[in-house]
Amino acid sequence: GEDVEQSLFLSVREGDSSVINCTYTDSSSTYLYWYKQEPGAGLQLLTYIFSNMDMKQDQRLTVLLNKKDKHLSLRIADTQTGDSAIYFCAERNQAGTALIFGKGTTLSVSS
Amino acid sequence: GAVVSQHPSWVICKSGTSVKIECRSLDFQATTMFWYRQFPKQSLMLMATSNEGSKATYEQGVEKDKFLINHASLTLSTLTVTSAHPEDSSFYICSARDNVGYTEAFFGQGTRLTVV
Protein backbone atom coordinates (compact mmCIF):
# COMPACT_ATOMS: atom_id res chain seq x y z
CA GLY A 1 0.00 0.00 0.00
CA GLU A 2 0.91 3.63 -0.22
CA ASP A 3 2.85 5.32 2.55
CA VAL A 4 4.03 8.87 3.09
CA GLU A 5 6.70 9.73 5.65
CA GLN A 6 7.73 13.08 7.07
CA SER A 7 9.94 14.24 9.90
CA LEU A 8 7.77 15.40 12.78
CA PHE A 9 9.39 18.65 13.86
CA LEU A 10 11.44 21.49 12.44
CA SER A 11 12.55 24.58 14.29
CA VAL A 12 14.03 27.62 12.54
CA ARG A 13 14.74 31.27 13.21
CA GLU A 14 12.78 34.03 11.54
CA GLY A 15 14.38 35.01 8.26
CA ASP A 16 16.07 31.65 7.72
CA SER A 17 14.99 29.13 5.10
CA SER A 18 12.98 26.08 6.12
CA VAL A 19 13.17 22.77 4.30
CA ILE A 20 10.55 20.15 5.01
CA ASN A 21 11.16 16.70 3.58
CA CYS A 22 8.82 13.92 2.59
CA THR A 23 9.24 10.44 1.13
CA TYR A 24 6.56 8.35 -0.49
CA THR A 25 6.31 4.79 -1.72
CA ASP A 26 3.80 4.83 -4.55
CA SER A 27 5.77 5.15 -7.77
CA SER A 28 2.55 5.67 -9.71
CA SER A 29 1.75 8.89 -7.85
CA THR A 30 0.67 11.49 -10.35
CA TYR A 31 0.41 14.58 -8.15
CA LEU A 32 2.11 15.46 -4.89
CA TYR A 33 0.81 18.17 -2.61
CA TRP A 34 1.81 20.38 0.29
CA TYR A 35 -0.85 21.57 2.72
CA LYS A 36 -0.59 23.89 5.71
CA GLN A 37 -2.72 23.48 8.82
CA GLU A 38 -2.90 26.10 11.54
CA PRO A 39 -4.22 25.15 15.01
CA GLY A 40 -7.89 24.21 14.95
CA ALA A 41 -8.23 24.95 11.26
CA GLY A 42 -8.68 22.99 8.07
CA LEU A 43 -6.04 22.40 5.45
CA GLN A 44 -4.82 25.12 3.13
CA LEU A 45 -3.41 23.96 -0.18
CA LEU A 46 0.00 25.58 -0.59
CA THR A 47 1.19 24.05 -3.80
CA TYR A 48 1.31 20.86 -5.79
CA ILE A 49 3.61 19.34 -8.37
CA PHE A 50 2.97 16.98 -11.22
CA SER A 51 5.13 13.88 -11.24
CA ASN A 52 6.86 14.74 -14.52
CA MET A 53 8.25 17.96 -13.03
CA ASP A 54 11.27 18.20 -10.80
CA MET A 55 10.83 21.71 -9.49
CA LYS A 56 8.12 24.26 -8.97
CA GLN A 57 8.52 27.72 -7.52
CA ASP A 58 5.78 29.96 -6.20
CA GLN A 59 6.91 33.14 -4.45
CA ARG A 60 8.65 32.03 -1.22
CA LEU A 61 7.88 28.37 -1.82
CA THR A 62 10.05 25.98 -3.80
CA VAL A 63 9.07 22.36 -4.30
CA LEU A 64 11.69 19.84 -5.39
CA LEU A 65 10.76 16.37 -6.57
CA ASN A 66 13.22 13.51 -6.97
CA LYS A 67 11.07 10.86 -8.55
CA LYS A 68 13.83 8.28 -8.63
CA ASP A 69 14.27 8.48 -4.86
CA LYS A 70 10.56 9.24 -4.25
CA HIS A 71 11.57 12.31 -2.30
CA LEU A 72 9.68 15.58 -2.11
CA SER A 73 10.75 18.73 -0.33
CA LEU A 74 9.23 22.10 0.43
CA ARG A 75 11.53 25.06 0.92
CA ILE A 76 10.17 28.21 2.51
CA ALA A 77 12.42 31.20 1.98
CA ASP A 78 12.62 34.01 4.55
CA THR A 79 10.52 32.08 7.05
CA GLN A 80 8.19 34.22 9.13
CA THR A 81 6.49 33.58 12.48
CA GLY A 82 3.20 33.35 10.58
CA ASP A 83 4.58 30.28 8.82
CA SER A 84 4.44 28.34 12.09
CA ALA A 85 2.00 25.51 11.45
CA ILE A 86 1.82 21.84 10.59
CA TYR A 87 2.77 21.01 7.01
CA PHE A 88 1.39 17.90 5.37
CA CYS A 89 2.80 16.17 2.36
CA ALA A 90 0.22 14.19 0.36
CA GLU A 91 0.10 12.09 -2.76
CA ARG A 92 -2.67 11.10 -5.11
CA ASN A 93 -3.27 7.40 -4.52
CA GLN A 94 -3.30 4.62 -7.05
CA ALA A 95 -7.00 5.01 -7.75
CA GLY A 96 -6.44 8.67 -8.54
CA THR A 97 -8.97 9.73 -5.99
CA ALA A 98 -8.32 10.46 -2.32
CA LEU A 99 -5.08 11.88 -1.02
CA ILE A 100 -2.74 9.91 1.20
CA PHE A 101 -1.21 12.11 3.87
CA GLY A 102 1.97 12.02 5.85
CA LYS A 103 1.82 12.58 9.60
CA GLY A 104 2.71 16.23 9.23
CA THR A 105 5.76 18.30 10.14
CA THR A 106 5.33 20.89 12.86
CA LEU A 107 7.29 24.00 11.89
CA SER A 108 8.19 26.29 14.73
CA VAL A 109 9.58 29.72 13.87
CA SER A 110 11.26 31.75 16.57
CA SER A 111 11.94 35.47 16.38
CA GLY B 1 -9.15 29.61 -5.20
CA ALA B 2 -12.08 27.27 -4.80
CA VAL B 3 -13.88 27.31 -1.47
CA VAL B 4 -15.22 24.41 0.54
CA SER B 5 -17.40 25.31 3.49
CA GLN B 6 -17.94 22.95 6.37
CA HIS B 7 -20.60 23.42 9.02
CA PRO B 8 -20.63 23.46 11.96
CA SER B 9 -17.09 24.38 12.95
CA TRP B 10 -17.56 22.78 16.32
CA VAL B 11 -20.28 20.85 18.07
CA ILE B 12 -20.77 19.32 21.49
CA CYS B 13 -23.36 16.59 21.79
CA LYS B 14 -24.56 14.10 24.36
CA SER B 15 -23.62 10.47 24.13
CA GLY B 16 -26.22 8.54 22.17
CA THR B 17 -27.36 11.41 19.99
CA SER B 18 -26.64 11.93 16.30
CA VAL B 19 -24.75 14.81 14.71
CA LYS B 20 -24.83 15.95 11.09
CA ILE B 21 -21.90 17.72 9.47
CA GLU B 22 -22.28 19.49 6.13
CA CYS B 23 -19.67 19.99 3.44
CA ARG B 24 -20.42 22.39 0.60
CA SER B 25 -18.44 23.38 -2.44
CA LEU B 26 -19.30 27.05 -2.86
CA ASP B 27 -18.07 27.93 -6.33
CA PHE B 28 -17.58 24.65 -8.12
CA GLN B 29 -19.28 21.33 -8.68
CA ALA B 30 -17.88 18.26 -7.01
CA THR B 31 -18.98 14.79 -8.04
CA THR B 32 -16.65 13.40 -5.42
CA MET B 33 -16.05 14.53 -1.87
CA PHE B 34 -13.93 12.92 0.79
CA TRP B 35 -14.35 12.67 4.53
CA TYR B 36 -11.32 12.49 6.79
CA ARG B 37 -10.84 12.14 10.50
CA GLN B 38 -7.94 13.61 12.39
CA PHE B 39 -6.94 12.74 15.95
CA PRO B 40 -4.83 15.19 17.96
CA LYS B 41 -1.31 15.48 16.57
CA GLN B 42 -2.07 12.80 14.00
CA SER B 43 -2.41 12.73 10.28
CA LEU B 44 -5.66 12.71 8.35
CA MET B 45 -7.22 9.31 7.92
CA LEU B 46 -9.57 8.83 5.00
CA MET B 47 -12.94 7.57 6.21
CA ALA B 48 -14.97 7.44 3.03
CA THR B 49 -15.38 8.71 -0.49
CA SER B 50 -18.69 10.36 -1.15
CA ASN B 51 -20.11 10.08 -4.67
CA GLU B 52 -22.97 12.23 -5.87
CA GLY B 53 -26.04 10.16 -6.58
CA SER B 54 -24.60 6.86 -5.38
CA LYS B 55 -23.48 5.10 -2.23
CA ALA B 56 -20.36 6.18 -0.46
CA THR B 57 -17.27 4.01 -0.47
CA TYR B 58 -15.97 3.38 3.03
CA GLU B 59 -12.42 2.60 4.03
CA GLN B 60 -11.65 -0.60 5.85
CA GLY B 61 -12.57 -0.41 9.51
CA VAL B 62 -15.05 2.46 9.14
CA GLU B 63 -18.60 1.49 10.08
CA LYS B 64 -20.97 2.67 7.39
CA ASP B 65 -23.98 2.39 9.70
CA LYS B 66 -22.21 4.57 12.22
CA PHE B 67 -21.03 7.22 9.79
CA LEU B 68 -23.83 7.87 7.32
CA ILE B 69 -22.87 9.78 4.20
CA ASN B 70 -25.28 11.43 1.82
CA HIS B 71 -24.16 13.23 -1.34
CA ALA B 72 -27.46 14.42 -2.73
CA SER B 73 -26.21 17.21 -4.97
CA LEU B 74 -23.05 18.29 -6.77
CA THR B 75 -22.32 20.85 -4.07
CA LEU B 76 -23.31 19.16 -0.82
CA SER B 77 -22.23 16.08 1.10
CA THR B 78 -23.27 15.33 4.67
CA LEU B 79 -21.73 13.09 7.30
CA THR B 80 -23.99 11.96 10.13
CA VAL B 81 -22.38 10.42 13.18
CA THR B 82 -25.11 8.23 14.61
CA SER B 83 -25.43 7.29 18.27
CA ALA B 84 -22.27 9.20 19.05
CA HIS B 85 -19.96 8.06 21.83
CA PRO B 86 -17.00 9.82 23.46
CA GLU B 87 -14.57 7.83 21.31
CA ASP B 88 -16.12 9.48 18.26
CA SER B 89 -14.81 12.83 19.49
CA SER B 90 -12.41 14.03 16.82
CA PHE B 91 -11.75 16.59 14.13
CA TYR B 92 -13.62 15.76 10.93
CA ILE B 93 -12.53 17.36 7.65
CA CYS B 94 -14.08 17.13 4.23
CA SER B 95 -12.51 17.82 0.89
CA ALA B 96 -13.90 18.25 -2.59
CA ARG B 97 -12.38 17.98 -6.01
CA ASP B 98 -13.47 20.24 -8.81
CA ASN B 99 -15.04 18.20 -11.61
CA VAL B 100 -13.39 20.44 -14.17
CA GLY B 101 -10.04 21.20 -12.62
CA TYR B 102 -9.57 17.69 -11.22
CA THR B 103 -6.06 18.29 -10.01
CA GLU B 104 -6.58 20.08 -6.75
CA ALA B 105 -8.44 18.94 -3.68
CA PHE B 106 -9.79 21.69 -1.46
CA PHE B 107 -10.55 21.25 2.18
CA GLY B 108 -13.20 22.56 4.49
CA GLN B 109 -12.22 24.23 7.74
CA GLY B 110 -13.04 21.12 9.74
CA THR B 111 -15.55 20.27 12.46
CA ARG B 112 -14.47 19.64 16.03
CA LEU B 113 -16.88 17.08 17.50
CA THR B 114 -16.93 16.54 21.25
CA VAL B 115 -19.21 13.87 22.64
CA VAL B 116 -19.91 14.13 26.37
Average pLDDT, chain B: 90
B88 has pLDDT over 60: yes
- Indicate the residue of A45, A102, A103 with minimum beta-carbon distance to B104: A45
- State whether residue A103 sits within 8 Å of chain B by CB: yes
What's the pLDDT tens digit per position in A6-41? 989 999 999 999 999 999 988 777 789 999 999 878
pLDDT band at B102 (very low <50, low <70, confident <90, very high): low
Average pLDDT over residues B35-54: 88
Mean pLDDT over B69-73 rounds to: 90
What pLDDT digit, counting tens, does each position of A64-90 carry? 999 999 999 999 999 999 999 999 999
3 state DSSP class of A54: coil
Task: Determine the pLDDT at residue A75.
Answer: 98
Res. A100 pLDDT band, cuts 50 70 90: confident
Residue A96: pLDDT over 60: no
Q: Are strands B19-25 and B76-81 parallel, antiparallel or unpaired?
A: antiparallel
Share of chain B above pLDDT 90, in %: 66
pLDDT band at residue B1 using 50, 70 and 90 as cut-offs: low
Q: Show Cβ contacts of residue B87 under 8 Å, excluding neighbours closer than 6 positions.
A: B115
Q: In the prediction, which pLDDT does A17 show?
A: 97
Q: Nearest by CB to B107, which of A31, A43, A98?
A: A43
Q: Of A15, A1, A7, whose CA–CA distance to A72 is shortest?
A: A7
Asked if residues B108 and B50 have their Cβ atoms less than 8 Å apart, the reply is no
A31 touches chain B (CB under 8 A): yes
